[in-house]
Amino acid sequence: MATIESLATRFERWGFVLAEGTFEESLEVLEEIVGRLDEGQLSLDDSLRCYEFGVLIARRCEKMLDEAELRISRLQTEQAEPDIDDPIDEPPF
């Protein structure tokens, strides 16, 4: 019973990742799915549902890789003015 509930929670999470997860999250979910399939504790039904999720997420990952384009943005920083509070006096010796 507990397994079933936790799997339901996972499905919810996976659905979220499938919709708007990062690549890393997606890959993590994919690996989690493989891990669960590997454990062999799932019912056939759940195995198939997990697998379906896996296929969808893998497809999304592939798409992300295919369409990946480095995003670059710049942060507005107050460009430091020359230091004035740190005068180094020439020592007399």
Partner 1 sequence: MSRQVVSVRLLTSYVRELLESDDLLSDLWVEGEIAEAFVARSGHVYFTLHDEESRLKCVLFRAQAQRLRVPPRPGDHVAAHGRISVYERDGTYQLYVDFLQPAGMGILALQLELLRQQLASEGLFEPARKRPIPRMPTCIGVVTSAEGAVWHDIQHVLRRRYPLAHVLLAATSVQGDGAPRGIVAALQALQDDGRPEVIIVARGGGSAEDLWCFNDERVVRAVFACRVPVVSGVGHETDWTLIDEVADLRAPTPSAAAELCSPSIVDLAARLVDVQREADRLIQDTLEDATLELRQLSSKLERLSPVQAVRRDRAHLAELRDSLDRLPNYTVATSRAAVAERRLRLSTALQDRLSARKHSLELEQARLVVLDPGSVLRRGYAHLTAGQDGRPVTSVDDVSVHDRISVRLADGVIAGRVERLARQSLVGTGAAIGND
Report the interface residues with partner 1, using CB under 8 A: 22-24, 27, 30-31, 33-34, 37-38, 40, 42, 44, 47-48, 51, 54-55, 58, 61-62, 64-65, 68-83, 86, 89, 91-92
- Contact between 27 and 61 (Cβ < 8 Å): yes
Token pair in block for residue 78: 């107050």
Nearer to partner 1, 2 or 72 (CB): 72
Nearer to partner 1, 15 or 35 (CB): 35
| Smallest distance from partner 1 to CB 12, Å | 20
Nearer to partner 1, 9 or 22 (CB): 22
Using a 10 angstrom Cβ sphere, with 0-12 exposed, 13-18 middle and 19 or more buried, the burial of residue 26 is buried
Nearest C-alpha neighbor of 22 from the set 60, 49, 55? 60
Nearer to partner 1, 1 or 80 (CB): 80
Count the neighbouring beta carbons within 10 Å of the beta carbon of residue 58. 15
